[in-house]
Amino acid sequence: MFSYRHAFHAGNHADVLKHTVLIATLQYLTEKDAALTVLDTHAGAGLYRLDGDYASTSAEASDGILRLVAPEVPPLTPALAAYVDMVRAFNQGSKTRVYPGSPFISQRLLRGHDKLKLFELHPTDMRALAGNVAQLEAGRQVAVLHEDGFEGIKKFLPPPARRALVLCDPSYEIKSDYGKVLDMVTDSLKRFATGTYAVWYPIIPRPEAHDLPRRLKTLATKAGKSWLHATLTVKSSKVTENAAGETKRPGLPASGMFLINPPFTLKPALKEALPQMVELLAQDKHATYTLESGS
């Protein structure tokens, strides 16, 4: 089964894409004075130790964020530089030991009058998230909710100030998550048509994973909404065998971000950043990216 608990994959190539997009989107949305509500449907633990048991088990950060903070890295594009600066802000000295998940990235970029709603159903991650958020002393700005984010966000749409970003990145361990994402976006657009919706998904050999962006595109087009779709591939998805005849699975080879009502500034930012992500994060000759949009 495909497993995507946040803690095991903190700082990997998928996080580089997801969090670069998140930061660029929030930087734009917080330029307007009106209050913004951010709804994070699958928040995870919020903060991760890259030298902790979970992350060091898979060591995926070594092919993700740790490549970008290496001394020999060339100057980064503005969007990637903003992402690296954000991660560095959670670390002291030259070592990158802590990785901020989307809740802490969002909170760092929000202003005093903005709101952050964090949903997490997994009991272990929920306890960690609540403990990590308590240290922020953010008061009523941040709410941690032990419930299913697919359903939980309904009561917050539309938000009081009529401005919202919904970030949805479930584990997709269960095939039904793909359908739930579509249902959630469909329902949310009916409740609040002008919100910005950002969906992360894994690109794996599963029909649902390839159908999801197509169906989101159809949904956005029918609703008359602009959309943006970015993907990052770092290696081949082929299953191989070693000399001993043992099957070797490649791990996550690629991921995508699909946004409805994206900032107009996001596509040019990613047009610069994605080629550099490929250059710095490639694990084999199959590394590539795609970027498309519509309205």
Residue numbers in the known binding site for S-adenosyl-L-methionine are 19, 42, 102, 120, 148-149, 169
Amino acid at 98: V
Nearest to 164 by CA among 86, 266, 260: 260
Catalytic residue numbers?
169
Instruction: Compute how many other C-beta atoms are within 10 angstroms of the C-beta atom of residue 52.
Output: 14
List CB contacts of 248: < 8 A, sequence separation 6 or more: 239, 240, 241, 242
Angle at 135 between CA 48 and CA 41, to 5 degrees: 60
Instruction: Compute how many other C-beta atoms are within 10 angstroms of the C-beta atom of residue 188.
Output: 23
List CB contacts of 95: < 8 A, sequence separation 6 or more: none
Nearest to 152 by CA among 24, 43, 8: 43
